[in-house]
Amino acid sequence: MKSSSGRRLAAVAATASLALLTAACGGGGFDNGGSSSSAPTTEKGPVALKMLIASSGDAETNAVKAATAAWAKTSGNTVDVQVAQDIKQQLGQAFAGGTPPDIFYTDAARFPDYAKAGALYAYGDQVTKPDDFYPALKSTFTYDNKFYCAPKDFSTIALQINNKAWKAAGLTDGDIPTTWDQLHAVAKKLTTGKQTGLAIGDTRDRIDAFMVQAGGGLTSKDGATITATAPENVQALEFVKSMLADGSAKFPKELDAGWAGEAFGKGIAAMAMEGNWIKGSQKNDYPDVDYQVAELPAGPKGKGTLLFTQCWGIAAKSTHQAASVDLVNSLTAVDQQLAAATAYGVMPSRTSAKAQYEQKFPEDKAFVAGGEYGVGPVNKPGFDSVLADLDTGLQGLKTGDPKAILASFQKNAEAALK
């Protein structure tokens, strides 16, 4: 076996495998590049765009396909819309592989990581009427003072109330809570037998709203420093803890539900704190539940809610950036945003569409109102695991120490900022 010819052959085999490997990697997989905010790349003639979306269902997929098809027809290009199973993972792999889709949904929470990595093409200066977007949304998609991508739409958190349970507890429209104490009081009243007063998601994406209402927040207003240990935040968590402790509020897992909307729809919870996506699930899964939506109650420092949004990301490595920007401008036009709102219940990101939207969907007033005072997610790269760790702390809030939870976040967040 160890004869010289054998060794030679081994060398041949090794070389062959190396040659195969380099051939496999030579296909543009590992080329360097990825500049942002430069002149858009274009190609002559009609282009074929690839789009990756994270769809909430057939309604959204079909609406996006129809909107892109309309643009493709007038511009003479083609758009291939792909629905992602797990867009986080698929985009991560596509960026690493060097062949990302031209245009894709970019979640606000993922945006800073993509921007920092240089994966996004900053085309904010080429968007039509950029100041028409809600300021909070614009600043969400601004990294290093550069407005990167056009907000697609947005959602806010509001309070959903089951009318039947509300009446059964002897409450009237005048009792709709506008302060924390009132919220706690009605939640206690609504907690009877198998029914819990309030279902609230066990994540920062719900509980942070109380911090905003208390005048606090995980970061300072300009986002420069971490202010998690501020007394306002402690006060907010103490309040949520007091509701969890007496059972007037519960996390969905305790209610055997995947999320608060499910508990609300099944009637296990009389109130829920969810975003406007709850409309779709109520309509499809629990059409018989009669409910109304109110703004979140104000805290010690006034009203506050959380904003959720996505933008149309364009890849830094796309070779069709000019065409992609054109498509985005078509998709974020007022009429297209209203069409999307009708098709799958999202709120337009342009303030000029607000009046028409409110007229069309008067029941969404509470959600739309949140656009004025809502706060976007923490806009920092490398924060995903830090925020996930905060969620872990919040899951144990019922018995945990709010100060310790916030202190641990403060420590990790400061380390991640460096």
Contact 195, 257 (CB under 8 A): no
Rounded Cα distance between 150 and 407, Å, is: 35
Scan for tokens 């070389």, then name that residue. Answer: 15
Find the shortest distance in angstroms from Cβ 55 to other proteins: 20
User: In angstroms, how far is the first alpha carbon of the chain from the final one?
Assistant: 56
Give the residue with the Cβ less far from other proteins, 65 or 266. Answer: 266
Under the binding rule (CB under 8 A), the answer on residue 254 touching other proteins is yes
Q: Per-residue contact track with other proteins, 114 to 153, x per CB under 8 A?
A: --xxxx----------------------------------
- Taking the least distance from each CB to other proteins, the nearer of 16 and 69 is 16
In whole angstroms, the minimum distance from the beta carbon of 415 to other proteins comes to 5
* CA–CA gap between residue 54 and residue 101 (Å, rounded): 13
**Min CB(3)–other proteins separation in Å:** 4
Minimum gap (Å) between residue 148 Cβ and other proteins: 15
Q: Tell me how far, at minimum, the Cβ of 147 lies from other proteins, in Å.
A: 21
Q: Does 39 bind other proteins (CB under 8 A)?
A: no
Contact between 32 and other proteins (CB under 8 A)? yes
Question: Does 175 sit near other proteins (CB under 8 A)?
Answer: no
Binding residue for other proteins (CB under 8 A) from 93, 179, 220, 225? 93
Figure out which of the listed residues 128, 192, 242, 392 binds other proteins, where binding follows CB under 8 A: 392
Q: How far is the CB of 227 from other proteins (least distance, A)?
A: 19
Q: Is 247 in the site for other proteins (CB under 8 A)?
A: no
Question: Residue 272 CB, nearest distance to other proteins (Å)?
Answer: 18
Told to check if 262 binds other proteins by CB under 8 A, we report no
Q: Which of 40, 56, 80, 88 binds other proteins (CB under 8 A)?
A: 88
Work out how close the CB of 140 gets to other proteins at its nearest, in angstroms, rounded to a whole number: 19
Distance CA 233, CA 121 (A): 36
273-332 positions binding other proteins, by CB under 8 A? none
Nearer of residues 95 and 166 to other proteins, judged by Cβ: 95
Q: Does 395 bind other proteins (CB under 8 A)?
A: yes
Report the residue number, 254 or 372, with the smaller CB distance to other proteins: 254
199, 386, 405, 406: which one binds other proteins (CB under 8 A): 386
CB of 341 to other proteins, least distance (A): 30
- Tell me how far, at minimum, the Cβ of 87 lies from other proteins, in Å: 12
**Burial (Cβ within 10 Å: 0-12, 13-18, ≥19) of residue 283:** exposed
Q: What character string, x for contact with other proteins (CB under 8 A) and - otherwise, covers 47-86? A: ----------------------------------------
Site residues for other proteins per CB under 8 A: 1, 3-6, 9-10, 13-14, 16-18, 20-21, 24, 29-34, 88-89, 92-93, 95-96, 113, 116-119, 251, 253-254, 256, 382, 384-386, 389, 392, 395-396, 399, 412, 415-416
